[in-house]
Structure formats: C-alpha cells, structure tokens
Chain A
Amino acid sequence: MHELGVAGGILDVALSEAARHASKKVTSIRLRVGVLRAIEPENLSFLFGHLARGTPAEGALLEIVEEPIRVDCPACGVSEARAFTFECPRCNGSGVSVTGGDSLSILSLDVDV
C-alpha cells in the first residue's frame, strides 16, 4: 500500500502539467522507478486509476521504466543488479557499494491538446 503516496504524487504532477498545457486529457505517463523503491507496478496502476477518477488523468496509462540497482565494485568496476546485494554480481567480491537504483521520477507525459 505504500504505492498510494507515490500514486498521489504522480497525479499531482500530471494534473499540474496538464493544466499548464491547457490539456483536458492525459493519455499516458512515463516513470523511472528504481528497484530499491520496491514499487509493485500493478498496485501503483490500480491506486493511480482510483485517485485519477473524474480528473483529466482518468484512464491514463502508467509506463514504468525500471531502473536497475547500480553496484560499484572495487575489483571490477560498475555493474547492475536486479536485486539488492552486498556481493558483486560479476566477481562475487565483497566491499561493493550500491550507488543507484532509487529513482522515483516522472520522465514525460502524453497529453491531448
């Protein structure tokens, strides 16, 4: 259920952008969501659809671009992981640091004008 606040944030941005462009309909919204955010796309879409009822964003499609976890390994450099780890996904070395994968942003939205 923690997707509810995220869905509300998406709707706020979508409605303010739609108003700024004098658009009465938002058709789709592209998001970048890091794996570390633990967002369930189905939950997010369901909650967004519920909140957007009766607004210009009603029926808008959420397209989620998943951002992998970025892992820096002192032995073999940067790589990406699909799940949180403290071992390098490439060489299994320790001492890695997680440097990315917590994005939560709206990239673009498609509107009718």
Chain B
Amino acid sequence: MDACDRCGILTRMQPDGTVRIEVERSILQSADEAAAAIRALLSGRKIYALNLISSPGSGKTTLIEALLARFDGKGGVAVVEGDIETEIDAERIRKHGVQVRQINTHSACHIQPFRLLSVLREMDLSETRLLLVENVGNLVCPAEVSLGEDSRVVLLSVTEGDEKPLKYPLVFKTSDLLVITKTDLLPYVTFDVDRVRRAARAANPSVEIFEVSATTGAGMPALLDRIEALRAAKTA
C-alpha cells in the first residue's frame, strides 16, 4: 500500500496499470449527512421524533391520530406524511388542527432525508415537542435510510401474517418499537404472536414490543404512555 503523493490517500497500483483507491465509505453517506442535519435540528429544538414504518394499511395514520388525541394541549405536535401520491393522509390529519406537511415521493418508495430536512426547515417548529413522520407504506426501503429520528416504530397488523420479521428482517432489526396492531382480529386469523416476538427479538434484542387494537383500545394506553415517557426524556 502506498500513499498518494498528491493527497496522501492510500492507493495501490494494480497489475493492469489502474490505481486502487481504498475508500471504505458508506454508500448512503449523503443520506446519512442529511439525517445528521435533521438530528441536529431536532436536538437543538428539543423535539422528539418518531419514524413510523409499516406495510400499507397497518395503522400508521390511526396511531398518529391516537397520539394526537393523547398529546392534545400538552405541547405541540407536528406531522409529516409521506406517500407516493395524494394529500389524503395530510387532509385526514389536518382535521385534528395540527401542523402537517405532505411529502409526495412520486416514484420513490420511501422518504428521503434531504426532502424531510427541507420540509422541516419550512415548518414553524417553535412550539413543537413531538414530530411524527409517517413513512411511505413499505417494509423494505424505509428501513434502509435514517431520517434522524429518535425512535423508529415498525407496525405489523395481525392480518399480514406472522412471517413478516423473517421476510423483512432489516426493518425489524433497526426498529426500537414493534407495534402489533389490530389484535382484536386475532380470533379470525392465523397469527402466532410469540413467533413474531421471537423473530423480532432475534433481529433486535432490545426492541420493545406492544400489542394494540385501536378498535377496542386494548394495549393503547401502554404504548402511548411509553411514547410520552420517551418524549419527556428527550424534551426535559
């Protein structure tokens, strides 16, 4: 290994006359830099941020609505909705009287951190203590990119099947909270909650797992309490 006489970087001449440059850099470096900028923006303002990831229809928007009901009047909540097209989710959230922005990714399958960063810079976050980012419904690509969030939440509804952590391990490995949703439907579907728990723990031993039904309200208080505690720890 020789150091380049111009820049000092480690290089090596190959037999074919090309020069090998050793870089060892993350492929997602520019995305990681945008995520770091988001993290700094949120830390400076003491805002606690959640990145909500799931398949389409698992209950991300419903969880946001439950959080809005819980945090109503307890300090500002801001919401960023990510969808490939339409403002449907933003309009649904706007009815609750909170600040909401919609990111339409068009062909892209997840929110890119630089898009989120520019949206956050346009928002008035002076009163915000909790930021809820709803990613595009997809278990693959959103897992690959950090949005600078404090906690990543993956939702899995019981109608999707209990093999999801085995099929989409990265999202379960990188999530801090796993929320198993629609548990009121467990009598009607084949879904082994313990199998999901074991697989999720293998992917991430420190994952916190919640079982909820927004329809009956079962399990929701424990989840909302935990998110409130996490927010309080960040914003204290």
Question: Are the chains A and B members of one assembly?
Answer: yes
Q: Which B residues lie within 8 Å of A47 (CB)? A: none
Q: Nearest CB to that of A2 among chain B residues?
A: B141
Say yes or no: A98-B23 contact (C-beta < 8 A), given A21-B7, A86-B202, A112-B17.
no
Quick one: which of A4-34 are within 8 Å of B by CB?
5-6, 9-10, 12-13, 17, 20-21, 23, 27-28, 31
Quick one: which of B3-58 are within 8 Å of A by CB?
4, 6-7, 9, 11, 14, 17-31
Separation of A84 and B112 alpha carbons in the complex (Å): 26
A38 touches B145 (CB 8 A): no
Q: Which B residues lie within 8 Å of A111 (CB)? A: 18-19, 21
Partner of B19, one of A12, A36, A102, A113: A113
Partner of A21, one of B19, B25, B31, B141: B19
In the complex, which range does the number of interface residues on chain A fall in?
Answer: 35 or more
A31 touches B202 (CB 8 A): no
Determine whether A51 belongs to the interface, using a CB cutoff of 8 Å to chain B: no
Separation of A16 and B89 alpha carbons in the complex (Å): 39
Quick one: which of B132-170 are within 8 Å of A by CB?
140-141, 144-145, 165-166, 169-170
Determine whether A78 belongs to the interface, using a CB cutoff of 8 Å to chain B: no
Separation of A37 and B145 alpha carbons in the complex (Å): 11
- The prevalent SS among residues of A at the interface is mixed
Determine whether B199 belongs to the interface, using a CB cutoff of 8 Å to chain A: yes
Q: Which A residues lie within 8 Å of B23 (CB)? A: 13, 17, 106-109
B169 touches A104 (CB 8 A): no
Q: Sort A-B residue pairs by CB-CB distance and give the 7 closest, nearest first.
A: A86-B202, A84-B169, A9-B27, A2-B141, A110-B18, A86-B199, A97-B205
Residues of chain B touching chain A, judged by Cβ–Cβ distance below 8 Å, are: 4, 6-7, 9, 11, 14, 17-31, 108-109, 112, 140-141, 144-145, 165-166, 169-170, 173-174, 198-199, 201-205
